[in-house]
């Protein structure tokens, strides 16, 4: 492997365009070496942007900073001596490189899974939501009275911040009027509803009304109590069903981990209201699984329980994304938090870019073909939209 290898070129180009998020080396060539994984990240030091290389072994991490040229030499050396695999994450694409013992390699790209370049030092990395003096985080049991994140709540805190980082990237590319409405469908305990309100009002200094819809009365009461205590005057929670709750005009809709077809109810309401932004993190995928009957050579796919479940997830969310696209939404589907924090980690993020209330016939046809190929009797979101038209 040399300096002009396409993978190295992608690394250099994205670094110079400030679109380099991180690079991870894995799959050890020699099982007994103590290095487990190596991560490259951009690091801003005064006026200079360097590459910070973190070498992790079983007991500790060693961090050293390099210029781009030096880091390329390091990368070449690591790939020659220590690792078979490299994953480059950029704002434009993710690049996957895999070497074989024979010395041959394969390289492929896919749409980006990470959307924020963070050039800060790890130890000064500050999360978007400040835990100090934060009433809702304390009331929800994430922080102590002193504003320290509780030991068992680090993952929750990280997840909330990560979610806000993603929203930040999406909303920064969307024009929303000074006053707008955010609706959170299936708000649950309200972690993400409060966090989004906090971010929009206190960081962005915007003044949207935020409404959480939730089935469970006790959660609604608790969230309203906390909103009052935090003096979040434009935030309220109402008990109701996603499919028929009385709502204001929706500008931003989120439905995070609402169960099964509740996600479809939520997305349908967002589409029908021409919401500018729709964010859905699907939860269980029972509806499609039940109405799916693979036929012919595909029948074997549903022989193994977990594979059937995975297939149902993929098909359910692909069709959701396609329905959104058919109604003029530019749609992305990506992982929004590492799988060790939560298994429910897919986010469908859709931004209305075309003013249409009629589905695109080409995409409709794609959905019909997909359903026919996999023996899906119906998809709830499509059914809901058909009732409407």
Closer to ligand SAM by Cβ: residue 124 or 246: 246
CB-based closest residue to ligand SAM: 188
CB of 191 to ligand SAM, least distance (A): 5
CB of 341 to ligand SAM, least distance (A): 12
Closest to 8 measured CA to CA, from 102, 62, 80: 80
Cross-strand partners of 182: 210, 252
CA angle 95, 119, 131 (to 5 degrees): 115
CA 231 to chain centre: 29
CB of 19 to ligand SAM, least distance (A): 30
CB of 296 to ligand SAM, least distance (A): 35
Closer to ligand SAM by Cβ: residue 171 or 280: 280
Closer to ligand SAM by Cβ: residue 193 or 326: 193
Number of C-beta neighbours around residue 25 at 10 A: 24
CB of 220 to ligand SAM, least distance (A): 10
Closer to ligand SAM by Cβ: residue 259 or 300: 259
Closest to 291 measured CA to CA, from 209, 169, 381: 381
CB of 260 to ligand SAM, least distance (A): 8
Closer to ligand SAM by Cβ: residue 177 or 343: 343
Cross-strand partners of 24: 39, 87
Structure tokens at 262: 């509740």
For residues 140 and 271, what is the distance between their CA atoms, to the nearest angstrom?
32
Cβ-proximal residues to 53 (8 Å cutoff; 6+ apart), any chain: 38, 39, 40, 63, 64, 65, 66, 71, 74
Give the footprint of ligand SAM on this chain (CB under 6 A). 186-188, 191-192, 213-216, 219, 241-242, 256-259, 262, 283
Closer to ligand SAM by Cβ: residue 114 or 262: 262
Are 27 and 84 in contact by the 8 Å Cβ rule? The answer is: yes
Cross-strand partners of 12: none
Closer to ligand SAM by Cβ: residue 186 or 208: 186
- Per DSSP, 148 falls in state P
Unique residue bearing structure tokens 């990240």: 41
CB of 218 to ligand SAM, least distance (A): 10
């Amino acid at each position: 492997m040399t300096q002009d290898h396409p993978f190295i070129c992608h690394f250099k180009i994205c670094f110079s365009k400030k679109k380099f998020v991180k690079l991870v080396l894995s799959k050890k060539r020699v099982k007994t070496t103590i290095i487990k994984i190596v991560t490259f990240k951009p690091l801003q030091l005064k006026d200079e942007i360097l590459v910070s290389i973190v070498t992790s072994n079983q007991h500790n991490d060693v961090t050293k900073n390099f210029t781009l040229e030096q880091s390329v030499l390091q990368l070449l050396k690591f790939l020659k001596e220590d690792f078979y695999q490299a994953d480059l994450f950029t704002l434009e694409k993710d690049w996957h490189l895999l070497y074989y013992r024979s010395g041959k390699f394969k390289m492929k790209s896919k749409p980006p899974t990470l959307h924020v370049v963070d050039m800060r030092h790890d130890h000064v990395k500050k999360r978007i939501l400040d835990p100090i003096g934060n009433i809702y985080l304390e009331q929800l049991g994430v922080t102590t009275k002193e504003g320290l994140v509780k030991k068992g709540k680090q993952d929750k805190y990280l997840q909330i911040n990560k979610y806000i980082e993603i929203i930040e990237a999406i909303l920064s590319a969307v024009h929303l009027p000074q006053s707008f409405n955010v609706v959170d469908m299936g708000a649950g305990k309200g972690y993400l509803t409060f966090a989004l309100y906090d971010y929009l009002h206190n960081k962005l200094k915007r003044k949207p009304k935020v409404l959480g819809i939730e089935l469970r009365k006790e959660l609604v009461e608790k969230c309203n109590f906390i909103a009052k205590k935090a003096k979040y005057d434009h935030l309220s929670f109402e008990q109701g069903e996603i499919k028929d709750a009385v709502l204001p005009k929706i500008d931003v809709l989120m439905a995070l981990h609402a169960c099964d077809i509740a996600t479809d109810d939520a997305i349908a309401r967002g589409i029908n209201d021409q919401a500018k932004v729709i964010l859905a993190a699907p939860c269980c995928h029972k509806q499609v699984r039940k109405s799916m009957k693979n036929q012919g050579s595909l029948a074997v796919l549903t022989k193994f329980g977990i594979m059937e479940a995975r297939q149902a997830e993929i098909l359910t969310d692909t069709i959701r994304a396609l329905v959104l696209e058919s109604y003029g939404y530019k749609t992305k589907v990506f992982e929004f938090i590492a799988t060790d924090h939560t298994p429910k980690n897919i986010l469908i993020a859709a931004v209305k870019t075309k003013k249409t209330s009629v589905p695109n016939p080409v995409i409709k046809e794609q959905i019909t073909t997909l359903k026919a190929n996999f023996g899906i009797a119906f998809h709830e979101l499509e059914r809901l939209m058909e009732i409407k038209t």
